[in-house]
Amino acid sequence: MDGETRTYLAGTPSGALERQTATIELGALEVLIRITHSGVCGTDAHDRTASCGLGHEGVGVIHRMECISGYRQYCHKSVGQKYGAEDHGTFCDYAIRHQDFVNPIPDGLPSKYAAPLVCAGITVYEALQAAEVKSSDRVGVVGLGGLGHIALLYAKAMGCDVSVFSASEKKWEDALALGANEFHVLNTTGKASEPLDVYSKVNVLLLCGGAITDYGILLPLLARRARVVPVIIQTKDITVPYMPFILPGMKIIFSLGATRENEQNALKFADRHKIRPWIQEYPMTVDGLNSAFAGLDDGSMRYRAVLSKELGNEFSV
């Protein structure tokens, strides 16, 4: 495949999706992966007008690699660190990645379930580790969507009781089916006429839903010395009531992505505890990706979209 054409799906300024091609050579410290599945993340929907290749939750089979002996300093292709390499996403036939950014998928974890875990899964796993969660903790999850439902699965597998807080009462049955111990409707606008009646205060609260700007609405949910971990990206500033957070010893911990160690641990943990995200599968085609985006846009997705070449594709394999 060195120097040969690769095909991928890209966004355009109008938001329409296009099949595009590129020629990229395999570098000394890179691996060539034949993509079989790719999750569709909310950031892919945001980037569909950015004129770039889409997808970052790719799973596949290693097709070729270089410098497998480990003596990379003697490799005839060694040119030092490679900067500015084009990345055409994972909605594609083949993807090239640096060896340090590729993680093995455990044998017992099917690829279609692994795809959402290589972004959403490792993100919530890292957040739980950053909060130093213990099995005796009660974990709260705000927002039962693509990110929040995986946070619930991981926290339950860690032995925690989990309370789900959602703006939609319709999510109640899903929350219980996923293993939640409690479910509450939370008005994140802060305009609720009555205080939220929470049976059990939470020790760790993961913010996995929409933007929350006033952290004062979280206070009724929190036990003393609780840890709040935002795991969403928002552009709006937040307001934190100073003394109500200081006096009970609250902590706000910011967590983004995951360490390489936790990336691998998150996948191993999911394999060991049979964590299976709720997914909807689509063919890896323009129509398939448009359908997945439509489900994300109208809120009907339950709960992660996965493009699968097993259902059809527009690429030569």
Give the span between the Cα atoms of 236 and 281, in whole angstroms: 33
Q: What is d(CA 97, CA 82) in angstroms, rounded to the nearest whole number?
A: 11
pLDDT tens column, 55-76: 999 999 988 877 655 544 445 5
Q: In Å, how far are 46, 204, 228 from 155, measured between CA atoms?
A: 28, 10, 14
Question: Quick check: 194 pLDDT over 70?
Answer: no
* Domains detected in the chain: 5-114+275-313 (3.90.180.10), 132-252 (3.40.50.720)
Average pLDDT over residues 99-125: 94
Instruction: Name the DSSP class of 3.
Output: T
The 10s digit of each residue's pLDDT in 232-287 is: 888 889 999 999 999 999 999 998 888 889 999 999 999 999 999 999 999 999 99
Q: Per-residue pLDDT for 189 more than 80?
A: no
pLDDT tens digits for range 271-282: 999 999 999 999
| pLDDT at residue 198 greater than cutoff 80 | no
pLDDT at 80 over 70: no
SS3 for 112-161 is HHHHHHHHHHHHHHHHHHHCCCCCCCEEEEECCCCCHHHHHHHHHHCCCE
Q: Which residue(s) pair with 214 in the sheet? A: 239
- Contact between 29 and 99 under an 8 Å Cβ cutoff? The reply is yes
Instruction: Pick 162 or 63 by higher pLDDT.
Output: 162
Average pLDDT over residues 207-223: 91
- Beta pairing, strands 30-40 & 304-313: antiparallel
Q: What is the largest CA-CA distance in the chain?
A: 70
**pTM recorded for the entire structure:** 0.89
What pLDDT is recorded for position 197? 61
Mean pLDDT along residues 290-312: 94
**Helix H or strand E segment including 76:** none
> With 60 as the cut, is the pLDDT of residue 83 above it?
no
Strand partners of residue 279: 304
Question: Is pLDDT above 80 for 145?
Answer: yes
Q: Indicate the residue type of 88.
A: H
Does the structure show a pLDDT above 70 at 21? yes
Query: 315 or 14: which carries more pLDDT confidence?
Result: 14
